[in-house]
Amino acid sequence: MNALTSAHQLVPISSPAMRAFRVTRIVNESSIIKSFWLKPQSEETLNFVPGEYLVFEVPAGPNGETLKREYSISGSTDEQLRVSIKLEESPNGTTYPDGLVSTYFHKSLKENDVVCAFGPTGKFLLDRNSDRPVVLLSGGVGQTPLIAMAHDLAQRGTCQTQIIHACENGEVHALRDELVALCEAADNLDVHFVYRTPTQNDKTNKRFDSEGVVTKALLQTLLPVDDYTFYLCGPGPFMQAMFELLLELGIAEERINYEFFGPATVLKRSGTNATQSETKRDSVMATSNDTQPIVKFGKSGIEVAWDPSLENLLDFAEEHGLMPDFSCRAGTCDSCKTKLLSGETEYISEPMERPAGDDILICCSAPTKNITLDL
């Protein structure tokens, strides 16, 4: 089929904020990860800050319906962006389907096809104005935004940077050689790879530095006393373990930046933190006052005073034990769309596209008056 009439180009752009990208190159990075180089079809300038992601709309549903997914940008040139996507396969012995969108990218998308995406966007951004030493700490495919940060830090050369990446073994380790070459060429970058179950080939060719998992002792060895800024990204259990380790090492929470497509409270709700959260929730329910709007969750029956220290209604719902659907946590995917049954809210950050009717995106909304949500 001629590329200009490829079925993948027939996906309509559903929002003015979306734009078309042509796939210029596809690279196999590991047994489960592929990189896709994307060039915008328009002449717009690519304003990209390391850490940002793209929101794709692709016809990956069971009946060809359009689905949205966010993928971090792992690299860039003046004219192109790269996303590196893991094929999300269902666990052995389960009936769960493979990841629909990642399967679409890995098995359907071809070079010269066109995809629609919004962005670059996101809040997980490299601070380019700081010369403070940096630690890039990642697990699995969570390295993708940190690879882009590493390239930027190497180019600027002003921040001493320690990169620590953990994964299963060399078979699934994507972009390893690229990162090694980058660190060899840059005086300010060092890298340390941790393989949980290295293969014999990994051992023979010395493709890793530590075996097992990232521990407190390892971090103490790699990180002499200094005032680091941390950038953290990876799967949920990895993120929670690393967050707790960093706090144990005395790292101030405001120095830990993270990208986490999961409940915002999960990093801080283990052990005593969970008890503290429950105590706080009970206290708020008992002492609701007139200084803040009352948020009522209609289905669950919970009625509490709004806490302005939380960023949005999604965080607030999770803080009180609810589990709304979500994905991007940034107003780009519609996953958290919830019906506002009564009251008024405002968008504290503008979403990619406001839902119609009484629906709101709770990941970027806050109440301005007493409200009732269909949760």
| Single residue among 232, 261, 290 that ends a domain in this structure | 261
> Quick one: 251 and 283 in the same domain?
no
> Distance between CA atoms of 37 and 29, rounded to whole angstroms?
12
Q: Please provide the DSSP assignment of 59-113 as one string.
A: S-STTS--EEEEEEEEEE-SS-EEEEEE--PPPTT--PPPPHHHHHHHHT--TT-
Which residue reads 């929002």 in tokens?
A: 15
* Residue 267, domain member (yes or no): no
Domain count of the fold of the chain: 3
* Residue 127, domain member (yes or no): no
> Quick one: 60 and 19 in the same domain?
yes
Q: Tens digits of per-residue pLDDT, 134-149?
A: 999 999 999 999 999 9
Phi, psi of 218 (to 5 degrees): -65, -45
> Distance between CA atoms of 58 and 266, rounded to whole angstroms?
30
Q: What is the CATH number of the domain that holds 157?
A: 3.40.50.80
Nearest alpha carbon to residue 277 among 310, 239, 303:
310
Give the other-Cβ count within 10 Å of 35's Cβ.
20
> Distance between CA atoms of 145 and 165, rounded to whole angstroms?
12
Boundaries of domain holding 314: 272-373
* Residue 170, domain member (yes or no): yes
Q: Tens digits of per-residue pLDDT, 191-215?
A: 999 999 999 999 999 999 999 999 9
> Quick one: 303 and 246 in the same domain?
no
Give the DSSP letter of residue 157.
-
Residue 177 reports pLDDT greater than 90: yes
> Distance between CA atoms of 240 and 310, rounded to whole angstroms?
19
> Quick one: 256 and 276 in the same domain?
no
> Quick one: 317 and 219 in the same domain?
no
Q: What is the CATH number of the domain that holds 329?
A: 3.10.20.30
> What pLDDT does 284 receive?
42
* Residue 79, domain member (yes or no): yes
Contact 246, 216 (CB under 8 A): no
Q: Tens digits of per-residue pLDDT, 17-55?
A: 789 999 999 999 999 999 999 999 987 777 889 999 999
* Residue 129, domain member (yes or no): no
> Quick one: 165 and 85 in the same domain?
no
Which residue reads 């930046």 in tokens?
A: 257
Residues 6+ apart with CB under 8 A from 61: 67, 100
> Distance between CA atoms of 223 and 356, rounded to whole angstroms?
50
Nearest alpha carbon to residue 224 among 133, 347, 110, 308:
133
CA 148 to each of CA 26, 80, 126, 257, 308: distance values in angstroms, whole numbers, following the listed order: 18, 13, 9, 15, 33
* Residue 266, domain member (yes or no): no
Residue 328 reports pLDDT greater than 80: no
* Residue 196, domain member (yes or no): yes
> Quick one: 89 and 194 in the same domain?
no
> Quick one: 144 and 186 in the same domain?
yes
Q: Tens digits of per-residue pLDDT, 77-99?
A: 989 999 999 998 766 555 556 78
* Residue 329, domain member (yes or no): yes
In this prediction, residue 167 has a pLDDT band, given cuts at 50, 70 and 90, of: very high
| Single residue among 209, 232, 261 that ends a domain in this structure | 261
> Distance between CA atoms of 147 and 156, rounded to whole angstroms?
14
| Single residue among 261, 283, 299 that ends a domain in this structure | 261
